[in-house]
């Protein structure tokens, strides 16, 4: 009699724990193009940032850049969601003053130059819903080639004499986009 009174609550508790364990183990698969971010200054010790960009990092995986980011077409600047650019201070892209705030950052790839675009739309998936009328600034920058190939699309800020440059690279392609104060 004592055994049956103890057995029921123990069995119930074990079944409950087993169901919780099974539920906790259901995760989505890892994203093949994980999110990344870069900022200036880059040091995590420096909280007084000037600029930051969040973007997806697609991999070439034996595919061509031209297939993933076609020339002449607006590209989301990475994978998945469009890249999101935050300016913590007013800056200029080319000759256009851009107020501090958060924007979508697009690129238009080309053979000799790429065009950088700052746009007011936010929370945008890809460039499918890109609206040119919401552009804040555009600037064409020259393309250079590097001997070292990058498998993952990558971006980093570097200090320049007049502000910071956003360096982007993928495969052998490199561009530098100047942001000035």
pLDDT in tens, the chain (181 residues): 556 666 676 767 766 666 655 555 677 777 777 888 999 998 888 889 999 999 999 999 999 999 999 999 999 999 999 999 999 999 999 999 999 999 999 999 999 999 999 999 999 999 999 999 999 999 999 999 999 999 999 999 999 999 999 999 999 999 999 999 8
Residue 40's contacts (CB-CB under 8 Å, 6 or more residues apart) are 49, 50, 51, 52, 157, 158, 159, 164
Burial class (CB in 10 A: 0-12, 13-18, 19+), 64: exposed
Q: How far is CA 8 from CA 17, 21, 36, 142, in A?
A: 14, 20, 51, 74
Give 141's strand partners: 114
User: Which residues neighbour 38 within 8 Å (Cβ) at sequence distance 6 or greater?
Assistant: 52, 53, 155, 156, 157
pLDDT for the residue numbered 174: 98
Burial annotation 8-46 (CB, 10 A radius, 16+ → b, else e): eeeeeeeeeeeeeeeeeeeeeeeeeeeebebbbeeeeee
pLDDT of residue 35: 86
pLDDT at 26: 75
CA distance 137 to 97: 8
- What is the dihedral sign for C-alpha 159, 170, 149, 173? negative
């Amino acid at each position: 009699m004592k055994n049956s009174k103890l057995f029921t609550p123990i069995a119930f508790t074990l079944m409950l724990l087993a169901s919780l364990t099974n539920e906790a183990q259901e995760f989505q698969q890892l994203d093949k193009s994980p999110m990344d971010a870069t900022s200036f200054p880059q040091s995590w010790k420096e909280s007084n940032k000037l600029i930051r960009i969040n973007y997806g990092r697609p991999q070439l995986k034996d595919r061509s850049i031209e297939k993933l980011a076609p020339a002449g077409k607006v590209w989301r600047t990475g994978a998945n969601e469009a890249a999101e650019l935050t300016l913590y201070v007013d800056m200029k892209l080319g000759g256009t003053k851009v107020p501090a705030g958060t924007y979508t950052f697009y690129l238009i790839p080309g053979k000799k130059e790429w065009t950088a675009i700052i746009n007011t739309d936010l929370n945008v998936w890809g460039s499918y819903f890109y609206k040119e009328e919401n552009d804040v600034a555009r600037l064409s920058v020259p393309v250079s080639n590097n001997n070292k190939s990058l498998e993952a699309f990558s971006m980093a800020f570097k200090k320049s004499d007049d502000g910071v440059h956003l360096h982007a690279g993928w495969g052998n392609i490199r561009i530098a986009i100047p942001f000035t104060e």
